[in-house]
Amino acid sequence: MTTTAQDQIQDTVSTNDVVLFMKGTKSMPQCGFSSRVAGVLNYMGVDFQDVNVLSDDGIRQGIKEFSDWPTIPQLYVTGEFIGGCDIITEMTLSGELDKLFEEKGVAFSKDAADKIREANG
């Protein structure tokens, strides 16, 4: 049986607490939006799985169908689609992302999150 892109995506989001589908990797993002979200997660010390959509066309197209969301990056937390760059930026600045991580049991640095808000307040 061949695995479809949808199966691969489902498997990735179910086996990792935090997954970022992005252009490039967390250490070498290849687009500004991906870089911003990866940067926030890295800065906050979140352990996340990065999936480079540029290395697999099936995943690149498949993730848009999977989430019914047209753009990359896409953040998933404990299997749930959270949003793209604008949503993650808003959630970070409002403190909603902290709350979500706390509810889902995802480790992150509250100090780092507070610093991001101070710098952008």
Has 31 been labeled as part of a binding site? yes
Each residue of 53-106: pLDDT tens digit? Answer: 999 999 999 999 999 999 999 999 999 999 999 999 999 999 999 999 999 999
Kindly indicate whether the domain formed by 5-119 is annotated with CATH number 3.40.30.10: yes
| Residue 51: partners with Cβ closer than 8 Å, 6 or more residues away | 12, 19, 20, 21, 22, 59, 63
Q: Residue 1 — pLDDT band, cuts 50, 70, 90? A: low
pTM, to two decimals: 0.95
Average pLDDT over residues 14-43: 97
Two tokens, residue 9: 């995506």
For the cut 80, the answer to whether the pLDDT of residue 8 exceeds it is yes
Q: Residue 121 — pLDDT band, cuts 50, 70, 90? A: confident
